[in-house]
Structure 1
């Protein structure tokens, strides 16, 4: 056998029986000598077609092939079954079955006037020959009978009739055998049809499975052309299903660095998973990410690739969302602290390589706490988003803006920089953030304080630069907010001062270096003094007078605030005991409790000990806690206040409006009054929002049975407003400045009308 040439159609044998005939597998009957025409006719006519006689390969006998096409009715043939008849054995069998051996026979194919010997050869025709025509599977045959000489010698008279009868019997037997063969063929054809139907059913089920698979499944031949594709492939790439077969695989998945699609698929079949993420192209030429799994399959001499493709678009979007949540602030969309540290270190590394400077700006919004608590968290969130948008508009693409948390932001400036260019950015930031914000119908004014640290002068690494920028920002706040400050080495002195103050405060506490000052609290209705707030003052021999705003934060940070607060409680109770002996037992003293002191486990027992020691009436002492401290643990605060109220102490919420609670929480706490922070009071003459907040606070507090003390009253207009809104008490410079205890005693003894013209 030789390989078939290039043609449009082939008809190779794929199944042979018996097994000894398997050597015929692969023979293309459309080119087999003596059988090509019959095979083509059988495919076209759908009827049995016999071939002209030919010599069998396995023997020297003559054979005839019988072909018939198979396939659904009314459709093109899908194949053909063939039978090879050994003509010599067929005739010999017919003679044997006839039981008459007194003649010789010859079978000749006379189709289309030809005379092709099939079986036997009688030579020249004789008078006693009998000839009968046969038709079988589209061909014509002539069967010739001739009595043998031996038979003619023994038979007389009826010999010719006997030969004729035997010939007719032989003809009948031969025709019957042919019909039997046709019948066997019909049975086999039925079996083939049944097997074909089963194969079609299996194919339909496989096709249904493939078409319902979620992933795209594509088979590609060795030349990189799509052979088949399931329904998911059509959905994934947007092509009509009929257009996928015959499409170049590189149209769906560009080969990239590989020379062609086949080379790409061969490489991917052994590649690790991380290399099997590629870019696909849909029918609109739009790229999208996909993963591919490739398995080469050998079908005979042909190799194909089975590819499973999965769209990774949603997976990558989910990964991007996770990454964004991990690296960005949810509210503003800016980079968060983690991403900032990574980005800043990268920019510093680049600045070192390029020998260029960099700058870190630490921005803290002014009055954010007040706005957030007075207008609500939603308004506070809008302010943060608005501030972020304003700052983004000022920066270049190479710059970085991040939110550290709360109301703190960081700007990293990269590229060629000078102190003047950094100053320009800082000025624009301060100006932009000082503009009013419209927050849900309310106008709010915030502003910011900015600290600047330069690389490499102020630090070589990210943490140092951020820390120094933070120091500079606090220096800006100390200068009055709404400005910026560059870091200077002198700012490191603040850390040194912290340690110095802590050590000096311990010495002052042990030597009574602290003193109490009192600021009068008056009735808004009469202007008369009804109490005083205890304030702590410190004068150091070396440092001079140290302001509370300077040493109180150090005490809180170091933990010294607890023993210092305990000392203040003891001094205040001793003063109340002294006043009672002097007949001044109607003046109430208000003492601030720090957050640590209030939440400490020893507060109640210490108060019990001090009350018993000094013998005072607890009702003459008012204990104040800030709302921020109260809201750290509302349930614990509620229980602590209940215990204090049970002991007879008066209780107040200090600096109301500067924390993050609301008036709704007040009904949960056993308190007597709230103190409105001076930040709200100072602008009630000019800021309608502050005026509304103060009035609403007074009204709601009264509805809850609470008294209201206004702090920071400095003008008659403020006093008049608070009195008109039915405020209860006030303190401030209008009535009296803080003064030493001795001066306060004389002040209340001689006080008749503390506010001139009241």
Structure 2
């Protein structure tokens, strides 16, 4: 029996009715650094602190009085004051007549298990990268902050923070640098918070700060702007200095919500408002923003249904050679006809489609349908003209955009030189290096690249030489009434000179008057489009117009 007890890797013992040790095993002696026989006749008061010993004695008495097994997890103190955890089991010891004559027990060291459990509990409530609170942790902490605010009659402010253009750091310098930036941002947010406050990371570059004990909404706005300025101070990673801006949304208790879900939803809506109106500032949630958000959500649901129900269709606007007035190209225009909403203007649904990423599915459909339609015209004996298709920022920033388009070209046997991709200045300048690589690959395959609305974006002329471009489209805001707006004329003249210097073709948009057309002709603009020459039209109307032009050319003896 002694050999069996000594083989057990747990503390094992037997005590009499006075809680004096009658037997301990070898492991018991090893833990305390003593020979097992030296414990005989001693009590827990000889081994542990008075408080712990009294607890052990009480457990012994409870086992002997109840005659039942007792199991508990408890803190133990070993030799030298080492603190740990043990899972203890105690049972009564009986004689041949069934009388309780002592207790026997085992104690298993579960210190490592308890540490692992503590770590699991911590990770369940904290972000793995920054050690800030995560979503569940924020909600739990916010509930406590709100409860304290209700009792004290004070306010609470919740800030939803998104770093502007943080994706550029990850994409250009790698996630290692991005993680270090996030660490520093987390430390700045953590510094200066009081006992009534909380900070957490929801994921990516999104953070939430909750400030308790707020006296007024204006005080909350003041603290929020102070926090924003602290975050926008330059930071250094691996010897390189970075300057970041952030967009912030604020909601407050009790005005904007009485629980965490309502507050974080309101602050998130306000943050997106700040993001969509210039970035780098703080926006407050209000009822109007809430109503706008509900409308966007309803629009998003209808857009998803529209994709499934095939409610989109294409219109086509001809582009004309200014000298001959012949159609030399076609711009594809997306339209949406909804049974409930009617014909929805693109300005209403395109931003929602981009924000919800539905534009990726829609954009792919537009590209494919444009190719299919152009091929259908060609099979009908009509000329296959270059087809210009607008790309959204989300489409352009897909890492496999060139592969997607190449796949469509192969699938439909569509000639690459009859596809023209239209992008805005801001789209190509945002995340410029990966975008340039994609465009270079597309242009090598024969696809033409066009800059839409030139002059309204970054106006960073350096990109004209760095990016593979074929066409500049002069924005309609410069074309409208150009013949009577002398302040606009030098701008258009400069654009024409730039296009010539870089060997780019020019297209003027929005031409609605003969006087505008004449002025553009004098400047040397080659191509135009606008209501003066042709409005957007259906595929059938476009086919009829191309056929009529073809008939006229044949009558005139032209090919």
Q: TM-score, normalised by structure 2?
A: 0.66
1:397 aligns with 2:195: yes
Q: Deviations over 1:634-676 (max 9, x none)?
A: 69x9577423334244779xxxxxxxxxxxxxxxxxx998979
Distance 1:296 1:638, change over 3 A: same
CA drift of 1:288 comes to: 1.9
1:327 aligns with 2:125: yes
Would you say the 8 A contact 1:673–1:706 is kept in 2?
no
Alignment of 1:36-47 (within 5 A): none
Would you say the 8 A contact 1:291–1:310 is kept in 2?
yes
Matched positions, count: 466
For 2:295 and 2:254, the matched residues in 1 are separated by 25
- Determine the structure 1 residue equivalent to 2:58: 263
- Determine the structure 2 residue equivalent to 1:489: 287
- Determine the structure 2 residue equivalent to 1:34: none
Would you say the 8 A contact 1:211–1:232 is kept in 2?
yes
3-state SS of paired residue (2:79): coil
Alignment of 1:406-445 (within 5 A): 406-415=204-213, 417-440=215-238, 442-445=240-243
Would you say the 8 A contact 2:396–2:427 is kept in 1?
no
Would you say the 8 A contact 2:332–2:390 is kept in 1?
no
Would you say the 8 A contact 1:516–1:740 is kept in 2?
no
For 1:404 and 1:242, the matched residues in 2 are separated by 58
Alignment of 1:62-461 (within 5 A): 206-237=1-32, 241=36, 243-250=38-45, 252=47, 256=51, 261-267=56-62, 276-299=72-95, 303-415=101-213, 417-440=215-238, 442-461=240-259
For 1:282 and 1:720, the matched residues in 2 are separated by 72
For 1:429 and 1:704, the matched residues in 2 are separated by 48
- Determine the structure 2 residue equivalent to 1:133: none
3-state SS of paired residue (2:80): coil
Would you say the 8 A contact 1:619–1:648 is kept in 2?
no
1:645 aligns with 2:410: yes
For 1:329 and 1:254, the matched residues in 2 are separated by 38
Q: TM-score, normalised by structure 1?
A: 0.51
For 2:198 and 2:370, the matched residues in 1 are separated by 52
Would you say the 8 A contact 1:215–1:310 is kept in 2?
yes
Would you say the 8 A contact 1:220–1:306 is kept in 2?
yes
Which structure's CA Rg is the greater one? 1
3-state SS of paired residue (1:290): strand
For 2:67 and 2:264, the matched residues in 1 are separated by 46
Q: Deviations over 1:331-351 (max 9, x none)?
A: 222222122223222322332
Would you say the 8 A contact 1:254–1:280 is kept in 2?
no
3-state SS of paired residue (1:453): strand
For 1:481 and 1:627, the matched residues in 2 are separated by 17
For 1:212 and 1:706, the matched residues in 2 are separated by 79
Distance 1:337 1:503, change over 3 A: closer
The one of 354, 357, 361 equivalent to 1:596 is 361
Would you say the 8 A contact 2:439–2:449 is kept in 1?
no
- Determine the structure 2 residue equivalent to 1:678: 426
3-state SS of paired residue (2:158): strand
Would you say the 8 A contact 1:519–1:738 is kept in 2?
no
For 2:272 and 2:319, the matched residues in 1 are separated by 29
3-state SS of paired residue (1:335): coil
Distance 1:730 1:232, change over 3 A: farther
